[in-house]
Structure formats: structure tokens, C-alpha cells
Amino acid sequence: MGKEPDNLYTIPVKGLSVGKHQYGFLIDKKFFEDFENSQILGASLKVDVDLERSETWIRIVSAIQGTISVECDRCLDELVIPLKTEASLLVRFVKNEDEPEEDLETITLDPSEAILDLRQFFYDYICLSMPIQMVHEEGKCDPEMIARLENARGEKPVGENGSPFDRLKDLLN
Ligand SMILES: [Zn+2]
């Protein structure tokens, strides 16, 4: 398999031999600290990169898999969600005709660049694969926080007898 995972998220392209190469990266909480306004509070993601190098282009196919932690939209408590996505990229050094005819995101790299930094690329794909609505399963939200939020909004005031739902439960019993 590939090399040991590192935390640089870069691939040395200068001097990289023509052919196939594999890389592994680990993405954790620290990765997202460099991105302002990131919704992601924590992560445990593994990235497996298959790279193919030709004379004039590099094709990268990465599988990103694991979990991320975000704030629940409903109770604001931490919510861990699974994440699995594939991110592909074609890097060319010069505009040319012999690149693979695929519908891939393409960037052009100056041939003098020594490394290819994949940090932003990984970040974008992780953000794209996040669900639009991020909430705990029904009934799994932090009940104290829900009560506090409802109080703060002035909705469903909690009286001495507990919430309206508790009274409803009493009636049903
Ligand atoms: Zn929640």
C-alpha cells in the first residue's frame, strides 16, 4: 500500500516518476482550524490517494472516508456524522492535447512547482459532501438545551409542572 500518512497534505511532484503512486493522509480537527468559518468542529477522516503521472499531466483520485463533528442545527450540541466522498483532480503542466478525456476538475500547475498542495482541494470536497440539514436523530438532541432554547425564544414556556409535553403524557397515563 501507500506511504505512511502525514499531515502536510502535499505531494512532491518534482521528480515524481511516470506511473502510479499511492498516498495516505489523515484529517483531524487541526486540519479545519486553518479554515475560517468552517462549520466542522472535529474530524476523523482517512484519505487514500491514487495518483497517476504522465509526462504532461497528473490524475488524482482520492477516497475520503470517516466521520466529522458539527454543531447540531436544532440543539447546538455536537453531532457526529459519517462522511464518504470521492474527489478527483486532473493537474496539467502545460496545455496539451494528450490528456485523458474525462470530465474532471482541472488545474494547471507551473512546471517549476515542486509540490502540489491538496489541502484546499480536500476541504472543498468535504464541505460539498456535508448534508444540508445536520440534526440529531429524533429524540437524540440535548433535552436541556432544547428547553433552554425554547425558553429563550419565548415559545412553549416551561411552568412549575414541567413542559406541556409532560402534562400531556400525564393525561395519557
Ligand atoms: Zn441535536
Hey, where are the domains in the chain?
10-136, 142-173
Element (H, E) at 118: none
pLDDT of amino acid 64: 98
Q: Which pLDDT score is estimated for 107? A: 82
Give distance in angstroms: CA of 145 to centre of ligand 1: 9
Identify which of 9, 13, 8 has the alpha carbon closest to the alpha carbon of residue 113. Answer: 13
Extract the C-alpha cell encoding 142: 440535548
Residue partners of 158: CB distance under 8 A and separation at least 6? 147, 150, 151
Task: Select the more confidently predicted residue: 35 or 108.
Answer: 35
Asked whether the beta carbons of 69 and 42 are under 8 A apart, the reply is yes
- Spatial distance between the Cα atoms of 69 and 58, rounded to a whole number of angstroms: 32
- Residue 41 Cα to ligand 1 middle (Å): 15
Contact call for residues 91 and 46 (beta carbons, < 8 A): no
Q: 38: burial class by Cβ within 10 Å (0-12, 13-18, 19+)?
A: middle
How do residues 87-107 score in pLDDT, each as one tens digit?
Answer: 999 998 765 566 566 677 888
Q: State the distance from the centre of ligand 1 to the C-alpha of 75, rounded, in angstroms.
A: 4
Q: Which residue has the higher pLDDT, 68 or 165?
A: 68
Centre of ligand 1 to C-alpha 144, Å, is 11
> From the CA of 79, how far away is ligand 1's center (Å)?
7
Distance from Cα 146 to the centre of ligand 1, integer Å = 8
How far does residue 135's CA lie from ligand 1's centre (Å)?
5
> What pLDDT, on the 0 to 100 scale, is given for residue 5?
47
d(CA 102, CA 17): 22
Centre of ligand 1 to C-alpha 128, Å, is: 21
| pLDDT one-digit tens code per residue, 107-164 | 888 777 788 999 999 999 999 999 999 999 999 999 998 898 888 877 555 554 455 5
| Predicted local distance difference test score (pLDDT) of residue 135 | 95
CA of 31 to the centre of ligand 1 (A): 24
State in Å: Cα 117 to ligand 1 middle.
35
